[in-house]
């Protein structure tokens, strides 16, 4: 089977092809004059450590049933989203256009700037801190980062951070299982 075509950003719409677009209500406008200066990598599994199914999408759509799992009760009323969700099989789902502000970073700081949601793109990888990510996730993530840099020239090559980097002490994802060197090698090989 041939490899899928590399992702491409439709800058006018702020959408990534070939991601499946599922609009989240958890978004708003970026502040006037905001530029895209950062990509934040997250890790998520719902319930934690479990993968597949509809739960992450339902969290980002505010339709997660609190009675479906005891952990879901801790998330009741939470309003979060990400620009992209990268499943373990490589599927890409987009919830927020890149020109809009997704609610993914929370209280955060990067290079002495607070409120990272204002100037960042949030990418959630289906995974957990201590569970290795899948090879296809690194491949697709490298493809996505190259596409984003082509579309948004304000994204510098070193403008990628983990959620744990922008919210230390509060967040741990994507965790020690995430191989930053593998990602960097994949991006270098593509661009």
Going residue by residue through the chain (191 aa), what tens digit of pLDDT does each one get? 666 778 999 999 999 999 999 999 999 999 999 999 999 999 999 999 999 999 999 999 999 999 999 999 999 999 999 999 999 999 999 999 999 999 999 999 999 999 999 999 999 999 999 999 999 999 999 999 999 999 999 999 899 999 999 999 999 999 999 999 999 999 999 97
| Superfamily (CATH H level) for 22-138+153-190 | Peptidoglycan recognition protein-like (3.40.80.10)
DSSP alpha helices (H): ranges in 26-134? 55-60
54, 57, 76, 124: the active-site residue: 124
pTM for this entry:
0.97
pLDDT computed for residue 89 by the predictor: 97
**CA–CA separation, 164 vs 167, rounded Å?**
5
**CA–CA separation, 56 vs 50, rounded Å?**
11
pLDDT computed for residue 1 by the predictor: 61
130 an active-site residue? no
């Amino acid at each position: 089977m041939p490899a899928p075509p590399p992702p491409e950003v439709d800058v006018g719409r702020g959408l990534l092809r070939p991601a499946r677009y599922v609009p989240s209500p958890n978004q708003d406008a970026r502040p006037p004059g905001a530029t895209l200066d950062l990509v934040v990598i997250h890790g998520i599994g719902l319930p934690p450590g479990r993968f597949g199914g509809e739960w992450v999408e339902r969290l980002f759509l505010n339709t997660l049933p609190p009675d479906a799992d005891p952990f879901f009760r801790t998330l009741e009323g939470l309003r979060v989203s990400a620009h992209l969700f990268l499943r373990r099989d490589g599927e890409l789902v987009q919830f927020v256009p890149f020109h809009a502000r997704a609610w993914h970073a929370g209280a955060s700081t990067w290079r002495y700037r607070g409120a990272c949601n204002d100037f960042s793109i949030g990418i959630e990888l289906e995974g957990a801190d201590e569970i290795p990510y899948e090879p296809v996730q690194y491949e697709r993530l490298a493809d996505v980062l190259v596409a984003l840099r082509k579309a948004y020239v304000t994204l510098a090559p070193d403008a990628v951070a983990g959620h744990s980097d922008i919210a230390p002490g509060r967040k741990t994802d994507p965790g020690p299982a995430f191989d930053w060197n593998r990602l960097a090698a994949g991006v270098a090989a593509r661009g």
